[in-house]
Chains A and B, each alone.
Chain A
Amino acid sequence: MKALRKQIDKIKPHFEKGGKLSMFHSFFDAVEALIFVPDTVTTRGSHIRDGADLKRVMITVWIALVPAVLFGIYNIGLQHSLSIGIEPVFWDMIWFGFLKFLPLALVSYAVGLGVEIYFAQIKGHEVNEGFFVTGLLIPLIVPVDVPLWQLALAVLFSVIIGKEVFGGTGMNILNPALVTRAFLFFSYPKWMSGDSVWVSGMVKGESIVDGFSGATPLAQAAAHQVESMPSALEMIIGTIPGSIGETSFIAIMIGAAILVFTGVGSWKIIVSVFAGGMGMGLLLNTFATNPYMELPAYYHLIMGGFAFGAVFMATDPVTATQTETGKWIYGLLTGILAVLIRVLNPAFPEGMMLAILFMNVFAPLIDHYVVEANIKRRLKRAISK
């Protein structure tokens, strides 16, 4: 450890201003800060500081994602085995899933971090930790067989147009991971929807088992094939086709528990998104005219990307509402919209992505009204005397 510190101190001058490698100083600083928390001390204001910085916050979200990642890897293997009809062997499935997941994650991180470091360099900033989480979210919300060049292009688009043009992490309006997915969804619909993209190998026609459709519960529900949908238990466990990280309700809820307990994720948003989805589901039940509308309301919470979106996407502090009251409204509307899009709009089987992106855009408006209400309340205080 000390030797490493010495080594870093030795090469550091090369990266500082005037050094021959100064063009890489942002990258060097980022790596150094990653290995050693800097020795900076407080100079003004509070003399002591909370132990948690953004790195700590981000690693906590990362840890919360681990259950979904692990289950996702397992499920890639499982769905593949089911589709080609081989005996599911646990470690074979894990290995298969790992080999499918790794390239997606690597491409996502390499492209995203590359852009982040480039922008930090030309702006003279420190590299922000934001992409640390985004980079892992992206592979979890795409179909397993999405071509890597498409993914790279989408990440490039989302980090540059979705984030850096606004000023980088903290300034963006839309959730970068969802921008990536939206880019893929609208640019390459063939790879992002339909029944065959969710299971590895099916697009190339490798599926040989008769009757294995590969369809997600959402697609089945949208086609009003409610009787062929998986059971609620299967959807809660997650052994169903879908985006890599979204299928297991249990794994996502473990993540939610970590986020809420550590205080990193807003429980208000998570609870209100679920409440909104449930409420809308119940409302649709009341006026049901087709099998999808009759679907038990709680199904909406456990199928598709609803839970994953509620826990990991809607809670993104930068793109959600910033006021505490606003979080309730934002969450409720997100849940309501997601279910509304699912059930009443035949063009989009999954409504969560669009619902969150839509509410991202409206978050500043909600905040505006919450703050205006505060201003009015304060003015009234002065007048009432």
Chain B
Amino acid sequence: MSKQIKLRKGLDIRLEGKADKILIPEEKPGRYAVKPVDFPGLIPKMCIKPGETVKAGTPLFFDKQKPDIKYTSPVSGTLTDVVRGERRKIMEVVIEANGDEYVDFGKADIETLNRDKIVSKILESGLWPAIRQRPYHVVANPTETPKSVFVSGFDTAPLSADFDFIIDHLSEDLYRAGITVLNKLTDGPVHLGLGANTTSNILKNTPGVETHYFKGPHPAGNIGIQIHHIDPVNKGEVVWYVNLQDVVNLGRLFAEGVYAPEKIVALSGPEVDKPRYHRTRTGALISTIITNNITSDNVRYISGNVLTGSKIESGGFIGFYDSSITVIPEGNHHEFFGWIMPGLNKFSISRTFLTWLMVNKNYKLDTNFHGGERAFVMTGQYEKVLPMDIHPMQLLKSILVEDIDRMEQLGIYEIAEEDFALCEFICSSKIEIQSIVRTGLDLMVREMS
């Protein structure tokens, strides 16, 4: 067994409504969508017009700055709608599903293909965006070669999906094929990060990877934390990473020649009647999953987890990178002297509420802000939940003053919003840290290109 990496910093937020290990078979909803907003920095340029028919794998739009990166339809059907937001920004490209047709990208023996062929096949199929990179936490640049590739085999976020359970219900052959593809993309190793209590033999016995075990609270499962401890990104270096389920989809692309972005998502949260796992597809409408399963009206639907996911409506779609749907109560209510009460239902990393008395309680947290935004006051808070050799507050301040050199020195290349999500959660000044981090990353992308 490989060496275990122990992380002491971090925080596990215990929420009600963890998904039971029961898999519901796919119920196809009528609509799917690809959301350009899932991909930071992307400027989409549409390839087809509403009304045209598409197959699974037909390009819908491409990246204006990197036209090789195509975004394709997850299903066959008709492009019905391009939903635009402020300043005509494209929010959702919606497809009315119909039939079961796939663009044939051709089966191929991975071992016989060279790297260029593999890259162009992935680009063509629309699966390329599944490969992301540090620095900047954006879709990988296909013209570069990473020094290594990472896959995280566990997720530690609150109510996140159990990858042990999911991988058991996916094809092991396709998973292994996907790992072979990743090995072709880099000259260096492919690293697989697993939790200390990972049970799945499929994951533990993955051939062609260097396996690393992590022990510790969230964010130990975050890819950025794992990269930091195994093969950190310095200036000028690039590493790539792929979500576990997309490794299987990569395998499918080569073994079956199709783009079929299947995934299993966990439906969880305190407002879910029967929290369970559902087989579905990237971009699926969530309605078939949530129908008759939500216990209240005043709720928030999140594609992803409560810390990093994106807010969607009950008629919204599953995000490209997400493997869970979380439903929590909205917190749009006033609370009488809430800051002075003992607070037996409040969760805090500090022991300022009496909830520290309750060791194993699961919480039903809502979306209330619990205060107003202030300047940085408390110190030493962020450091408790960021298991990296990085000074989070100093880095955030350098982003706020747009000091590029300082950001570089303090470690902007290694971080992503999700790594700072816990800092944002615990911040007593209620500063919107994840959007500060994104601003900093976007600034670096502009500055470095």
- Which A residues fall within an 8 A CB radius of B? 1, 5, 33-57, 59-60, 126, 128-130, 167-171, 261-264, 266, 317-318, 320-324, 327, 367, 370-371, 374-375, 377-379, 381-382
Contacts and interface: CB of A to CB of B under 8 A. Distances in A.
B383 A324 contact: yes
A37 B350 contact: no
24 contacts: A36-B335, A37-B334, A38-B334, A38-B371, A41-B368, A41-B369, A47-B307, A48-B158, A49-B368, A49-B425, A49-B430, A52-B348, A55-B371, A56-B352, A60-B352, A167-B375, A168-B375, A317-B378, A317-B380, A322-B393, A327-B380, A367-B394, A370-B391, A378-B409
B66 interface: no
A50 B337 contact: no
B68 interface: no
A59 B339 contact: yes
A292 B436 CA distance: 54
The 8 closest A-B pairs by CB, nearest first: A53-B371, A170-B375, A51-B346, A382-B234, A37-B338, A55-B339, A45-B434, A36-B334
B86 to A, nearest CB: 14
Contacts of B232: 381
Contacts of A46: 306-308, 421, 424-425, 434
B389 A377 contact: yes
A167 B400 CA distance: 16
A60 B352 CA distance: 7
B367 interface: yes
Contacts of B331: 39, 41-42
A52 B352 contact: yes
B390 to A, nearest CB: 8
B404 interface: no
Interface string B206-217: 000000000000
- Chain A at the B interface: SS class: loop
Given A46-B424, A51-B353, A264-B352, A37 B371 contact: yes
B50 interface: no
A320 B378 CA distance: 10
Given A39-B331, A320-B379, A50 B425 contact: yes
Contacts of B340: 55, 59
A49 B369 contact: yes
Contacts of B432: 44-45
B421 A45 contact: yes
Interface residues of B, number: 74
A377 to B, nearest CB: 7
Contacts of B352: 52, 56-57, 60, 262-264
B155 to A, nearest CB: 16
Interface in B323-366: 326, 328, 330-340, 343, 346-353, 355, 365-366
Nearest to A268: B380
A39 B421 contact: no
Contacts of A33: 372
Interface of B: 13, 158, 232, 234-235, 237, 300, 302, 306-309, 311, 326, 328, 330-340, 343, 346-353, 355, 365-380, 383, 389-391, 393-394, 409-411, 417, 421, 424-430, 432-435
Nearest to B304: A47
A42 B411 CA distance: 27
A261 B13 CA distance: 20
Contacts of B348: 50-52, 56
Given A56-B371, A60-B350, 12 more contacts: A36-B338, A37-B334, A39-B334, A42-B367, A51-B346, A54-B429, A57-B350, A171-B375, A263-B350, A263-B351, A371-B394, A374-B391
A359 to B, nearest CB: 15
A323 B382 CA distance: 11
A382 B235 CA distance: 8
Contacts of B309: 47
Nearest to B300: A47
Contacts of B370: 37, 49-53
Nearest to A326: B379
Contacts of A381: 232, 234
A318 B377 contact: yes
B234 A126 contact: no
A52 B338 contact: no
A299 B383 CA distance: 35
B176 to A, nearest CB: 30
Contacts of B365: 48
A54 B380 contact: no
Contacts of B425: 46, 48-50
A63 to B, nearest CB: 9
Contacts of B307: 46-48
Nearest to B308: A46
A44 B258 CA distance: 35
A47 to B, nearest CB: 5
A42 to B, nearest CB: 5
Contacts of A327: 380
A118 to B, nearest CB: 18
Contacts of B355: 51
Contacts of A51: 343, 346-348, 353, 355, 370
A380 to B, nearest CB: 10
Contacts of A375: 409-410
B148 to A, nearest CB: 12
B12 to A, nearest CB: 13
B377 A169 contact: yes
A40 B368 contact: yes
A141 to B, nearest CB: 21
B339 A322 contact: no
Contacts of A43: 311
Residue of B302, B389, B410, B430 with most chain A CB atoms under a 10 A cut-off: B430
A41 B376 contact: no
Nearest to B346: A51
Contacts of B390: 374
B391 A323 contact: yes
B411 A378 contact: yes
A89 to B, nearest CB: 34
B375 A38 contact: no
Given A38-B334, A262-B350, A47 B377 contact: no
B290 to A, nearest CB: 16
B374 A170 contact: yes
A41 B426 contact: no
Given A59-B340, A261-B351, A382-B234, A317 B424 contact: no
A266 B380 CA distance: 8
B334 A128 contact: no
Residue of A34, A40, A370 with most chain B CB atoms under a 10 A cut-off: A40
Contacts of A48: 13, 158, 306-307, 328, 365-367, 425
Contact of B351 (A171, A262, A382): A262
Contacts of A36: 334-338
Contact of A47 (B302, B375, B383): B302
A128 B346 CA distance: 22
Nearest to A41: B367
Given A169-B374, A261-B351, A47 B367 contact: yes
B339 A374 contact: no
A40 B335 CA distance: 11
A53 B428 contact: yes
